[in-house]
Every structure is written in C-alpha cells, then in structure tokens.
Structure 1
Amino acid sequence: MLRRLLIAFGIAEIAKPQPVIDACERIALENAEDAQIRPWALWGARLEGALFVWLLARRKSEWTPTCVLLAAAGVVLVFVPQPIINQSQRLVYANHDELQSKPWVKPAARLLGVVYLVVVALSKTGTEPDDSADAAGDGAA
C-alpha cells in the first residue's frame, strides 16, 4: 500500500509539480507569496518524482547510484537538515536571501529525509508485506 501511495505521489509530482512546490512553500516559508521560483525548480520536482517511481516500480534489490544518492540525502536530511535546506533554497529561489523559514522547516525536512529512506528501503525489498501475503495466497490457490 505504501509503495503504491509513493508511486502515485511520484506520478503526480511528474505530471503537476507546481502544486507540490506550492505546498512545500506554504509549509516552509513565512513569506511564500514573495518567493521567486527559478525555472528549473519544476524540473527538479519532476526528477524527484521520477526517481520515486523508477525505484519503487522496478522492484529490484540491487544498489544503484540513484539508491545510494537518495539514501545519502535522506540520512543528511534526517540528521543535519540545515545545509540541504539552505542549498535547496539557493537552487530553487532567485530571492533566497529574502525568504523567511517557518520554525517547523527542519522537522519537515527531516520528515522528507525519512520519506527518502523509506523509498530506498522499499526499493531494496522489492515487495511490501501485503504484497508478499498476496503472492503467498496466490500460490496456494
């Protein structure tokens, strides 16, 4: 179920990244209405969605550079989120110096790190617990 939910999120992020970016801005920024998004930010969001879909849909367990990169980003976001918050704001916003972060931006970034780690973990297992139960049930029938 979680795998399917994350794949659906990835597909939505590929198809319509602006609502995802808007939601992140509302969560993270005090002055989200002043944010001047750079043109490539939409492509970055699409790339994130594509990575989720690719890793989760392929159901292979070998480590790839993509898995390693996403896992490393997840660990950094969980334990020291501020450098990634700062760098992502510099990359995404033309006026990053003018933006004011909300107090819960660090916990939100940590949560995103956990999501990245869950995506990697699910891509390593190839199945979810409910998928393996379905497979066992199909074999017995």
Structure 2
Amino acid sequence: MLRQFLGALGILTTLVPDRIVDVFEAIAVENPDENTVHSWFGPLIRAEGVVITFAALRGGRPYAWLMNVTGIFGAVLLFIPRVYEQIAGPLVYEDPESVEWNEHLTDGVRVIGAVYVLLALFDRRRRNGS
C-alpha cells in the first residue's frame, strides 16, 4: 500500500510541480509573495516525481533505494532540522536570505523526518520478512 501511495504522490508531483511549490510555501514560508523561486525548480520537482513514480511502480531495487534514501534524509530532518532551511533556501529561492521561515517549521520538519524514518524502517522490515 505504501508503494501505491508513493506512486500516486510521484504522479501528482510530476503533473503539478508548481502547485506542490505553492503548498510548500503556504506551509513553510511567512513571506512567499516576496520571494522568487528559481526558474529550474519546477522541472526539478517534476523530475523528482518521475523518479518516485518509477521506483514505486518498478519495486525491487529502485524502490528499496528510494526508501533507504528516504530514511537517511528523514534522520537528518529529525535530528538536525535546521539543515532543511540551509538546504531549501538556496535550492528553492533566488535570494534565500530574504526568506522568512514559518516559526513552527522546525517542529514540522522534525515530524516529517520521524515519519520518513518510520516509513523506511517499516518497509525495511517488510522486505526482510520480519
């Protein structure tokens, strides 16, 4: 069921990357109208969606790889949530210093990190037959 959910999420990300950015900004940024997203960020999100969709549909090694990367990324978010701002700012915005992050972003990033770690652990356990 997780694979189907990730596949659907990948398809959604592939089809409407700009909407994904809008949702991200509505949740994470206090001043989204004052910031300019890099022109190449939408295609990058679309490419991420294609990779997620491929891994979810293919299963096997690509899916295991995706879940392992998800778990590692989740651990970073869980234990070092401020890294997210340091990475996301320059990755997403032309002027990352002008971004005013939501005051609750750190807590939200930790929760997302914990969910990613748990999903990766549950999937690993399933793959190992435990």
Instruction: Provide the TM-score with structure 1 as the length reference.
Output: 0.72
Deviation at 1:32, TM superposition (A): 1.0
Residue identity in the other structure for 2:23:
A
Partner of 2:53: 53
1:3-18 to 2 correspondences below 5 Å: 3-18=3-18
Question: What fraction of aligned residue pairs are identical, expressed as a percent?
Answer: 25
In 2, Cα distance between equivalents of 1:25 and 1:45: 14
* Residue aligned with 1:108, SS: helix
User: Structure 2 stretches of 5 or more lacking a match?
Assistant: none
Which whole-Å CA distance do the structure 2 matches of 1:124 and 1:54 have between them?
A: 22
Q: In the alignment, is the contact (CA less than 8 A) between 1:85 and 1:109 conserved in 2?
A: no
Q: Which moved more, 1:68-77 or 1:54-63?
A: 54-63
Q: Does 1:96 align with 2:96?
A: yes
Give the superposition deviation at 1:38: 0.2
| 1:21 equivalenced with 2:14 (yes/no) | no
Letter in 2 for 1:57: L
Question: What is the CA–CA distance in structure 2 between the aligned matches of 1:23 and 1:13, rounded to whole Å?
Answer: 11
Give the ranges of 4+ consecutive aligned residues of structure 1 lying more than 6 Å apart after TM superposition.
none
Count of residues in Structure 1 that have an aligned counterpart in Structure 2:
125
1:90 maps to amino acid:
P
Query: Structure 1 counterpart of 2:47, which letter?
Result: L
Deviates more, 1:96-105 or 1:116-125: 116-125
Residue identity matched to 1:107:
D
Greater radius of gyration (CA)? 1
Q: 1:124 to 1:89 in 2, by over 3 A?
A: farther
CA shift in 2, pair 1:39/1:92, >3 Å: same
Q: Deviations over 1:1-28 (max 9, x none)?
A: 4432221111010111010110000101
